[in-house]
Chain A
């Protein structure tokens, strides 16, 4: 019901929300305008730039396809089986989202790198070695991050099939094949395109993976090309042109994502837990167990290796690493505070009139890359400040904008529930403005606020993006410091720093998320 009288935001709240939306628009589209204005001076895309565009699209398409194809059997295994530790494993599938990319890359190097487990084994049996660098490395890392994402998305599709359908199928004597044909295949047809596009968009803007495992003429993404133009050649026109290209790619992908159909409805079920009678045969059971075991090893082994090697090193880390850690925590906390301060008024305004547009403005972070934002901000601020001075403030700002969509997604459903549940009661009591924020909105939103702040903190903590553009001596964050240690082949220190970074990222998330849940009033 379009119930204006019970809308959450008063006039002041709406104005504040509009102001924040305007700020986000300035930051995303405004920096793009700066970029576009500057890009005009460039002579156009050279062959190397076109190669970067092609490689970006190729790796994103392949990463998405591999992730989604592999995720189907994994999700089916999770959907068909009930076992101890299942819910923990499914929760762990969400962990790569807050895992610093650079830590995962270090772990993947320990498995697939030149002196990693795989090549040791290949050498031992006299087979040729494989290289983790180039396209295959980028794909391995992207699948590592996105296979869990795709699995969760597809698993939601399975969970959306009402338990009653499976009961009906069992009562009609349908086996695994028929269940697949009549229930699972229609579901997959509805869910897979969305999952594919989601992974595709993520891989399009992924920077740290390309920075560490890609590179060279054959494996440079547009993001990496922006970084190189900016950092090595200081060719601002070219960086700006590439940033414009990257934005166009993101926009096209975002449009694609918006067009892809939402998962089809399976009608309302009665929310019975889905007992499954198909797939009872030994062969199917073995298949599911094998799939889950393989995926667990693929996801957990790299991290286990990092921990094994790094934990003993943490105590012996050089002072520069600790200084970077302190800097990173400060950046993460500042960016979290900023992100929440932006997200809350935006979310409140987004539940009122014209909310769709305000929400869309907040989601723009999804379709922007942090390097484009960083380049634009640099172009705008260059007349007044040195890039080195900008490194940390710009990182705080960019990280906050990039985390905004995820915090919004955490807040919006809770706010809508709040409005549905208590909107009329508050209106009838005249509870509004700051009293309403203090007495109703904040206390009821504790849990999603804590979760959202945790996401923002962990994402900022692990981010290796815009900081790489600007940082000089003395402004490195921990992920950048770790990257430099890897570049200098100080692998023991790198492993120690990775453990520290992992601990800090997960720790920050845990503290915020926990704080949100702690003695929440019922």
Chain B
């Protein structure tokens, strides 16, 4: 279980509070107006932004003392998910060993992960030689190998077209199910949230609300969400 315990983030005149729990294995969309703090919430979990007050706990363990790389999670950013000077194999291999000294078995694991996301044979390419969707798959293959129990998606597929984005979200859902991961996904698109996430957290007016069923929330939005959705 991921628990936000009276967590508070203050940056200049921006402030956000979160006090709720996300059940293990849940897929949760983080929705709300631009600038409300959706990415900030994920950055706090990932360890890039310190909490001003409160704690974030995973399985009862306080995450605060852990460096970003040591936290039980993988994160996919909006962009810059791959190192452009490394090959696909190397980018994925970083998920197993950050110094890339892979033994034979680990190399086989990397190949298997690439095959799982549909990229077998493309290991020698560099990111610039891949399409946007393929780049997303490389990052997913790496997350698959890292096998951390928590997966954070900060709109990594925002630049993709609707059909491709749906395809990628289905792939994420499959992988999350296989690895029994808990997923937090920032989204701008109500349709994506409905498709992917049974639960949604609304971030608005300086608060991240406890997760509610996505369909009910979108069908009967509170005023802040209604304004954002244009209803």
Contact = CB atoms under 8 A, between A and B. Distances in A.
Interface of A: 3, 5-6, 421-422, 424-425, 427-432, 434-436, 438-440, 443-444, 520-522
16 contacts: A3-B48, A424-B77, A425-B77, A428-B75, A429-B94, A429-B98, A429-B142, A429-B146, A430-B67, A431-B69, A434-B99, A436-B98, A439-B83, A443-B86, A521-B84, A522-B85
A292 to B, nearest CB: 39
A460 B83 CA distance: 35
Interface string B113-132: 00000000000001110000
Given A6-B48, A425-B83, A427-B67, A522 B100 contact: no
Given A6-B48, A521-B85, A522-B85, A428 B80 contact: no
A13 B167 CA distance: 43
B214 interface: no
B81 interface: yes
The 4 closest A-B pairs by CB, nearest first: A430-B69, A521-B85, A435-B99, A427-B68
Given A435-B100, A440-B83, 4 more contacts: A5-B48, A422-B80, A431-B69, A435-B98
Contacts of A422: 80, 83
B80 A430 contact: no
Pick the most buried of B70, B77, B85, B127: most chain A CB atoms within 10 A of its CB: B85
Interface residues of B, number: 28
Given A522-B84, A522-B85, A429 B126 contact: no
A421 B99 CA distance: 20
A5 B67 contact: yes
B185 interface: no
Nearest to B66: A5
A429 B48 contact: no
B95 interface: yes
Interface in B45-74: 46-49, 67-70, 74
Given A425-B77, A429-B98, A522 B126 contact: yes
B10 to A, nearest CB: 14
A5 B47 contact: yes
Contacts of B75: 428
Pick the most buried of A3, A425, A440, A444: most chain B CB atoms within 10 A of its CB: A425
The DSSP consensus for interface residues of chain B is loop
A435 B99 CA distance: 5
Interface string B160-194: 00000000000000000000000000000000000
B48 A427 contact: yes
A490 B114 CA distance: 70
B83 A432 contact: no
Contacts of A520: 85
B205 to A, nearest CB: 23
B68 A428 contact: yes
Nearest to A442: B85
Contacts of B127: 522
B100 A427 contact: no
Interface string B83-106: 111100010001100111000000
Interface of B: 46-49, 67-70, 74-75, 77, 80-81, 83-86, 90, 94-95, 98-100, 126-128, 142, 146
Contacts of A434: 99
A8 to B, nearest CB: 14
Contacts of B47: 5, 427
A210 to B, nearest CB: 46
A428 B84 contact: no
A428 B70 CA distance: 8
Contacts of A438: 99
A427 B77 CA distance: 12
A439 B77 CA distance: 20
B83 A428 contact: no
B134 to A, nearest CB: 16
Contacts of B69: 427-432
Contacts of B84: 521-522
Contact of B98 (A421, A430, A444): A430
B85 A444 contact: yes
Contacts of B67: 5, 427, 430
Contacts of A444: 85
A430 B146 CA distance: 11
Given A5-B47, A429-B94, A429-B95, A439 B80 contact: no
A443 to B, nearest CB: 5
Contacts of A424: 46, 48, 68, 77, 80
A424 B127 CA distance: 18
Contacts of B83: 422, 425, 439-440
Pick the most buried of A5, A432, A434: most chain B CB atoms within 10 A of its CB: A5
A425 B100 contact: no
Nearest to B67: A5
A522 B74 contact: no
A445 to B, nearest CB: 10
A331 B47 CA distance: 47
A440 B99 CA distance: 10
A428 B81 CA distance: 10
B98 A425 contact: no
A214 to B, nearest CB: 50
Nearest to B85: A521
Contact of B46 (A421, A428, A439, A440): A428
A450 to B, nearest CB: 15
B41 to A, nearest CB: 15
Contacts of B49: 3
A397 B1 CA distance: 59
Contacts of A5: 47-48, 67-68
A434 to B, nearest CB: 7
A421 B81 CA distance: 10
Contacts of B90: 439
Contacts of A428: 46, 68-69, 74-75
B126 A439 contact: no
Contacts of B146: 429
Nearest to B87: A521
